Amino acid sequence: MGVYHLFTLNKFPLPDKQKEKLVKKAYDYYEKQTSESPFPASILGFRGKDFRSQLQKNNAYYRVKHRIRMVLLYLYAELENRLVVGCANKTESQIGFFVKHGCDDASDIIPLLNLYKTQVKELARYLEIPSEILNKPPSPDIIPGLIDEEAIGISYDKLDLILLGAQTGWKNSDLAKALGVEAKKVLSVKKMIEKSEHMRKIYVPQFF
């Protein structure tokens, strides 16, 4: 498919550690220049935004790899007469932190979809999952140098409570005060929910 040329750092023979540092610097630079993290900016695409061309290429590179994973999972599932299990959780689903039709989204069963990320960790503790897995910061592994909370721009502890508050009708100002965060953080999370609705629902025209 010729996708490796889309990711800028693949053009240079750099060690992985160096790539991680450069990705982190680029991410921070974009946020300083635009006052928005690349992930929220990507939900509705980069049309009309700064650094559009490169970001679109990097996004396409990142997402196609998730979808190829999905294709491989279904290949082996069908060869062995099995079901494909998705591992998306409620937090990721609500803010669009997943790849549509990728290996988390396109699956036969998604057992964790009604659990927030913090609840998934509690379940892992109950199941006695090894600490090296439990304590490893979750990351979008195809993008070197970032962890989820850096990409999203807020900790999962605060994010989950904002999502719960939004679901139960809390006002932005009340949520911000209760959680000790800036009101703009609450607003940014709610914007991610709104922007990513198209990722959870397929538009079906109504004919009368």
Is residue 23 scored above 90 in pLDDT? no
* Distance between CA atoms of residues 191 and 41, nearest Å: 11
The residue-averaged pLDDT of 180-184 equals: 92
Q: What is the DSSP letter of 156?
A: H
pLDDT tens digit string along 29-80? 888 888 888 889 899 988 888 888 888 998 899 899 999 999 999 999 999 9
On whether the CB atoms of residues 75 and 99 are closer than 8 A, the answer is no
pLDDT, one tens digit per residue, over 86-116 is: 999 999 999 999 999 998 899 999 999 999 9
The CATH number of 4-199 is: 3.40.50.620
Give the domain ranges of the chain: 4-199
CB 1 within 8 A of CB 64: yes
SS3 171: coil
Say what the pLDDT of residue 173 is: 93
For residue 2, pLDDT over 90 is answered with: no
C-alpha span between 121 and 136 (Å, rounded): 11
pTM recorded for the entire structure: 0.88
